[in-house]
Each structure stands twice: as structure tokens, then as C-alpha cells.
Amino acid sequence: MAVVASAPGKVLLTGGYLILERPNAGIVLSTNARFYAIVKPLFDQLSPESWAWAWSDVKLTSPQLNRESMYKLSLKNLNLQREYGDELLDLMDSAVTAASNSSDSGNPFVEHAVEYAVAAANATFDRNKKDDLNKLLLQGLDITILGCNDYYSYRSQIESRGLPLTPESLAALTPFKSITFNVEDDASGQQCKPEVAKTGLGSSAAMTTAVVAALLKYFGLVDLSSSNDKETKDLDLVHIIAQSAHCIAQGKVGSGFDVSSAVYGSQRYVRFSSSVLSSAQDAVKGLPLQEVIVDILRGNWDHERTKFSLPPLMTLLLGEPGVGGSSTPSMVGAVRKWQKADPQKSQETWRILSAANSALERQLKALSQLAQEHWIAYKSVIDSCSTTKNDKWLEQAADPNEEAVAKALLGAREAMLEIRKYMRQMGEAAGVPIEPESQTKLLDVTMNMEGVLLAGVPGAGGFDAVFAVTLGSSSSSNLAATWSSHNVLALLVREDPCGVRLEGRDPRSRGITSGVSAMSIQ
């Protein structure tokens, strides 16, 4: 009876900061780094007295964090409460859901995923199906979450072993390896709460989406096993529930691009109106979830998404600089403060950034179209440019079709340079390191290498990661070696346009490595 679902991580290629406001669009790529959720009954059989029970037992296990938590789910109010010895802690208390990730604080993303998934099933099912749902709940829920190694930083472990900062060192790690906490003392000498070093792939969105999808499938509310209109509606339901649970768990209504890509895969995305989640916010304030879930399900989810992926023969790479993480909320707050303080300058900057984002999108679409209509010319230019620097790309063209490909490549590159320029300016004006000087030097070196089309800081920027898009098969290995010489660890992450999906069995039984197999490393 176990159900296994997985959802991908993300890389926001364009739209940093702008994507927070409609109608600005962003290009978000889903990746081969997936988060898994396994849902099965906690008990094999129902007790004869179970009909009188008012609570369902829920167990959440995270093997990588060496954590196991027990909860009680009220079958009347559908709220989840954490067990602490003989006491129950009400998780609908906003002060509790905002708790940090200390060893005894639980997991608000999974907790809200459970509540919202159960509430959605309860609101959707007829009386007979509600009886079936209650039987499932009375058997308890046993939930296990697992994230591919790519979501977490293992740089310190690699360095402590004296291994080189290469993808091969990452690939040699045990799949779903235990995660080391960063524990530091604050100024008063008190131990700070543990923090997991991450790579910025959107682990909370992928985890929430995987848990929601697995639960909705387990309850019989969605299928997700075939490509048809019903699956599209089922994906929409997963999106609504995952988006709601994720926003409430993080304590704010974000743009939602990370959840959308976790559900649907790579795409061009325009955010939903934040008012669609006003009902969910009312639930946090004390209104019963079962009273507001219908409003959430029937809400005007006006986000826009269209399929989008990198053109053929292009490879997405991510690098971990290892110079410390950045706080996205504080950076966003600083940019918003600057917008209010200097509306004229900020609007002009956003206008130019929006135009540059659109230009990059157009060039990438043009390249995909050229690959479809003139494959031989397209492949010839990509192969040639993969071993040459950008100032020689136009020389690789021998006919009009090849020239069109070369010009589109150069157009995409120029758009990326424009994006980087104005992202830096915005960061300087707002007083935050959107593209820090150290990243600028690295990205300039990267973009001047043979076969590199694009390079930048994903999403909100900062010190978390850098990305690059390379041409052909040979340039990615050269870039990984160059990054290593600059103390940057090239990750195993690649683009995978597929969104949430059902899995055949527990991923630990399938020999999954960190994102890609060692045999596929270029």
C-alpha cells in the first residue's frame, strides 16, 4: 500500500526579484535532483475499537537528519498536533509553525502538507469515500522524506577527506547521505540552533510537493499515472495544496515559482495574485481549516505557466563557491526598501531588466525553433562553438541557417550580460550583494571560456551558487575543472524538465546516486 512520489529542485534562470510582482515572468528550470516522499499505513490492521477514536497517529521520519517525530491528527478538526511525552502541541499556532529547524522543532512544511492534503480529501469526497478516508487515517500515516544529495552541501566532508572539489568526489558519496549540521556559538556563548547547509535548489518546495502528491495519491484523490486531461486537473490540485501548505509554512506568500516548477517542471512562470491565499491565512488566524479549504480549492489561481526548457545540446551546470550562504528574505526586504525610497530609479532598472529577461527568453526560444527546423545546421554550429570562444562563434557559420544559430547564441549571451549588469546595479543601490564581486570575477572567467553560453547567479543571487549553460558535451567537463581551480565545486545537477511524478518503489532500493550516475559524468 506504500505510495512513493518525487518532485524536482529548481534553478531560476531569469526573473530574480521581478518575479515577485505580476506580470513579470521568470524562466525556472527543474532539475534531476529530486525529493522523495513515501507514505504507507502506520499499522497493519485496524483495532476493533478504532471506530471510537478521535485521533489518527502520524509518524514523520527523515533518515538523513536522523529524526523521527510523532503526531496526533484530529479527525474532527483535521489539525495536527505534535507529541511531546504526554503533551500535545497545537501546530496551527503561528508561533509554533515559525519555529526554527532545531532538533525538536518538527517540520512545518510536512506538517502543513499533511493538514492541507487531508482537508482537501475530506472536502472533496462524498460520504462513502469519506468513510474510506477515515479508515486509512485510523491506520495511521507513516511518512518518510528523502532528498537527493544535491540539495545539501557536502563540501566540508570532501575537503576533510583531502579529496578534490570535483563532481566525481560528489558522485562517490553514499546516496541520501546523512547531513551534517552547522552548529555555531553565538556572542553570548549559547549554542545556536543547528542549520543545514544547502545548495539553493528549493528543498522545502520539492519536499512539500512530494509529500502532498504522495498523500493525495494515497487517499485516492489523484492519479498522476497517465498523460491526459485528468492528470492535468490532478496536477493542478497538487499545485494548489502544495502552494498553500508551503506559503503558510514559510510564513509568507511568496512568488510560488519553486512549487510550480516542482509540480509541472521547467517553465516560464508568472506568479499568482497573493489574494488567492487569503483564506489560508485566515486559517492561521484561527478559522477552522475545513471551513476555508473550499475557498482555497475554488480560488482564482491566476498564475501563468508555459512549457520551457533549454534548447537541445545545452547543459545546465551549478557551482558551489563555498563562501557562505545568503539570506534571500533579507535581500528581498532590502530591494523592496530601495524600491520605496527611490521609485523612479528602481522602476527604470526593473524595466531594463524585464526587457533583458524577455530578450534572453526570445533567443532561447529561437534556438529551440532552429534546432527543430534546421537540425543539421544547428548541431554543426553547436559542435563548433563548444570548442571555441564566443568572439569566434560567428565564424563557424557557413550558410544562412548556421548564421542564424550563431547570431541567436550571441544574442542570448548579450542579454545575459545585460541582466547581470543591472542585477549588480540593483544590488549596489539596495546595499545587498546580488552579484558579489567574488561572483563577478568567477562569472566573467566562466563566460569567457570555450563553449560557455551563459553564466550568472540564480534567483535572488548572493553567495549560494552560480550557474552556467554550456554547449555540447565537452565544455561542461572543462568548466568543472576550471571551477575546481577557483575553489568552486561543480555539482551533479542538470536540467530535467519533468515535474512531480509517482515512483515505482523506495528510491533507496534503486541505487540512486547524487542526481546523476557516476557513469554519466562528462
C-alpha distances in Å from residue 245, one per residue of 96, 114, 120, 203, 205: 15, 9, 11, 14, 10
pLDDT recorded at residue 286: 72
> Which residues have a Cβ under 8 Å from the Cβ of 235 and sit 6 or more positions away?
222, 224, 263, 264, 499, 500
Whole-number average pLDDT of the chain: 88
The DSSP secondary-structure symbol of 311 reads P
Instruction: Report helix, strand or coil for 88.
Output: strand
CATH superfamily, domain at 314-494 = GHMP kinase, C-terminal domain (3.30.70.890)
pLDDT recorded at residue 142: 97
The torsion angle over the Cα atoms of residues 496, 497, 502 and 508, rounded to 10 degrees, is 10
pLDDT recorded at residue 211: 98
Share of the chain above pLDDT 70, in %: 87
pLDDT recorded at residue 314: 97
* More confident of the two residues 415 and 47: 415
Phi, psi of 69 (to 5 degrees): -125, 145
**213-227, 334-348, 359-373: the lowest-pLDDT one:** 213-227
Interatomic CA distance for residues 409 and 454, integer angstroms:
9
From the number of C-beta atoms within 10 Å of its C-beta (0-12, 13-18, 19+), residue 226 rates as: exposed
How many helices and strands, by DSSP H and E, does the chain display? 16, 16
The answer, yes or no, to whether residue 138 has pLDDT greater than 60, is yes
CATH 3.30.230.10 domain span(s) along the chain: 3-150+200-307
Phi, psi of 308 (to 5 degrees): -155, 135
**71-85, 119-133, 217-231: the lowest-pLDDT one:** 217-231
pLDDT recorded at residue 1: 80
CATH 3.30.70.890 domain span(s) along the chain: 314-494
The answer, yes or no, to whether residue 332 has pLDDT greater than 80, is yes
Beta-sheet pairing, 141-147 with 25-41: antiparallel
Bridge partners for 57 per DSSP: 72
433-485 residue pLDDT tens: 999 999 999 999 999 999 999 999 998 888 888 999 999 877 888 999 999 99
The answer, yes or no, to whether residue 101 has pLDDT greater than 50, is no
Q: What is the pTM of this model?
A: 0.91
* More confident of the two residues 193 and 38: 38
Interatomic CA distance for residues 281 and 284, integer angstroms:
5
Share of the chain above pLDDT 90, in %: 70
The answer, yes or no, to whether residue 194 has pLDDT greater than 50, is no
The residue written with cell numbers 545587498 in the block is 432
pLDDT recorded at residue 49: 67
209-244 residue pLDDT tens: 999 999 999 999 999 876 656 678 999 999 999 999
508-520 residue pLDDT tens: 887 555 444 433 3
pLDDT recorded at residue 326: 63
pLDDT recorded at residue 296: 93
- The CATH architecture one would assign to domain 3-150+200-307 is 2-Layer Sandwich (3.30)
pLDDT recorded at residue 476: 85
pLDDT recorded at residue 175: 92
**172-181, 357-366, 406-415: the lowest-pLDDT one:** 172-181
278-314 residue pLDDT tens: 877 776 777 788 888 999 999 999 999 999 999 999 9
pLDDT recorded at residue 252: 87
pLDDT recorded at residue 230: 62
Return the half-sphere exposure (C-beta side, CA atoms, 13 A cut-off) of residue 209.
32
Interatomic CA distance for residues 407 and 452, integer angstroms:
15
> Which residues have a Cβ under 8 Å from the Cβ of 53 and sit 6 or more positions away?
47, 75, 138
Q: What distance lies between CA 12 and its chain's CA centroid?
A: 9
C-alpha distances in Å from residue 325, one per residue of 331, 454, 460: 12, 22, 12
